[in-house]
């Protein structure tokens, strides 16, 4: 029976203490069950507010032309050329805070697959795991203690939340997760402030976070500071209501003991045109450690991106993104086995995505992306096994199909 299957699932989660109440319902003509012991009531109450959600993220990628030895260095791109991919499987168990003054809740999120490994690093498969609790000061301060998503950035680590399948260069160089204490205070419907302290920060390429395994000295008392200010247009702004401005920074100790700082500014914009929305983002990372031949404390990186989205129908949405990225962090980012650095220094990227939700709970997308080395140097390709030959192309084209089932 369905109840028996649900009980089995709870047993797998260590919650089989509900068995007395459930087992009686699985037996025909069974006598009425005895009242549940008082000790079970808190557990039943907690379970009644617990949600289980997640997704399965898959893709098929084609890169026209030959030679994939030096793929464009944006997040999750390496190793997916000309193939079918299981990108990530995500399962989240959570209980949200209620409206009481001293409310509490939790999030336990597990991710699996190559994208999840890139995000989670040494914590794999734990994506997020934190306790949240409210302190009734002013309008109420919400705290999160544990491991939580980075505050900064236009795009999310969850692909289905983004307008495009592939990630921007800005996302690719942002931290992805932090372990620490985060406070969120909503001043009013238009102003929200977030401030947190986390373990040492690493804003190195590809979203590395809290890296302590490189053998460098770490100052135990030095923590990263993370922050974000969100301003939301009020309802009396007409068609522009709900638009938002974001500004924040992360600052902390990086991989080789050097301080690193990331600045982020972004906006989402509603328009008077039905179905048309826009957005923009700016990321700047200063004093990024470079991993070419020896670590250097002179790196920098910045990325600009503009977004346009048009919901043509309830099912069909067209999304576009234009990017410019530059900085020492891009030069020498990927070293081939023969020691030749990837010469990508300045890059332009254009992405177009058609999303059509034909099946229930399924996001289905077709995407085409063009990355161009604007420095004039060859940056992509190479006719040999991955990572063994120097790049021989100034352009990389990607055509992808992406399907995500959300539950």
Same domain assignment for residues 223 and 325: yes
Same domain assignment for residues 275 and 243: yes
CB-CB neighbours of 376 under 10 Å? 10
Asked if the structure places residue 53 within a domain, the reply is no
Asked if the structure places residue 299 within a domain, the reply is yes
Return the pLDDT at 299. 65
59, 203, 208: which is closest to 120 by C-alpha?
208
Q: What average pLDDT score do residues 44-64 get? A: 87
CB 175 within 8 A of CB 206: no
Return the pLDDT at 45. 57
Least confident range of 42-56, 161-175, 234-248, 315-329? 42-56
Asked if the structure places residue 51 within a domain, the reply is no
Q: Count structural domains, the chain.
A: 2
**Residue-averaged pLDDT of the chain:** 80
Return the pLDDT at 281. 98
Enumerate helices (H) and strands (E) in the chain, giving the number of each: 5, 16
Same domain assignment for residues 255 and 297: yes
Q: What average pLDDT score do residues 250-257 get? A: 66
Return the pLDDT at 78. 87
Same domain assignment for residues 115 and 147: yes
**Full domain range(s) for residue 374:** 58-406
Same domain assignment for residues 191 and 42: no
Q: What are phi and psi of 176, to 5 degrees?
A: -110, -40
């Amino acid at each position: 029976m369905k109840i028996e299957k649900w009980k089995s699932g709870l047993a797998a989660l260590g919650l089989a203490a509900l068995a007395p109440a459930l087992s009686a319902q699985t037996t025909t003509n069974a006598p009425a069950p005895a009242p549940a012991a008082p000790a079970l009531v808190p557990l039943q109450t907690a379970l009644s507010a617990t949600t289980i959600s997640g997704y399965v993220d898959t893709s098929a990628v084609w890169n026209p032309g030959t030679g994939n030895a030096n793929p464009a260095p944006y997040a999750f791109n390496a190793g997916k050329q000309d193939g079918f991919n299981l990108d990530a499987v995500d399962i989240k168990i959570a209980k949200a805070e209620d409206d009481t003054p001293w409310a509490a809740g939790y999030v336990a999120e597990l991710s699996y697959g190559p994208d999840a490994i890139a995000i989670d690093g040494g914590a794999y498969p734990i994506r997020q795991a934190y306790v949240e609790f409210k302190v009734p000061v002013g309008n109420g301060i919400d705290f999160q203690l544990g491991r939580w998503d980075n505050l900064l950035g236009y795009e999310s680590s969850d692909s289905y939340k983004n307008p495009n399948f592939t990630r921007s260069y800005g996302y690719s160089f942002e931290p992805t997760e932090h372990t620490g204490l985060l406070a969120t205070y909503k001043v009013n419907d238009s102003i929200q402030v977030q401030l947190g302290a986390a373990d040492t920060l690493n804003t190195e390429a590809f979203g590395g976070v809290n890296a302590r395994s490189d053998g460098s000295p770490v100052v135990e008392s030095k923590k990263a500071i993370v922050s974000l200010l969100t301003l939301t247009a009020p309802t009396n702004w007409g068609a522009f209501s709900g638009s938002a401005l974001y500004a924040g920074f992360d600052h902390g100790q990086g991989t080789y003991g050097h301080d690193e700082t990331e600045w982020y500014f972004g906006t989402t914009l509603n328009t008077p045109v039905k179905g048309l929305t826009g957005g923009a983002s700016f990321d700047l990372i200063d004093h990024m450690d470079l991993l070419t031949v020896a670590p250097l404390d002179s790196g920098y990186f910045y990325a600009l991106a503009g977004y346009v989205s048009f919901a043509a129908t309830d099912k069909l949405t067209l999304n576009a993104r234009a990017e410019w990225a530059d900085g020492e962090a891009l030069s020498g980012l990927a070293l081939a086995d023969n020691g030749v650095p990837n010469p990508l220094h300045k890059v332009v990227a254009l992405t177009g995505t058609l999303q059509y939700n034909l099946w229930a709970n399924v996001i289905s997308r077709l995407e085409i992306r063009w990355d161009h080395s604007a420095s004039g140097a060859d940056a992509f390709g190479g006719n040999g096994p991955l990572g063994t030959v120097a790049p021989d192309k100034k352009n990389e084209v990607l055509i992808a199909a992406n399907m995500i089932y959300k539950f």
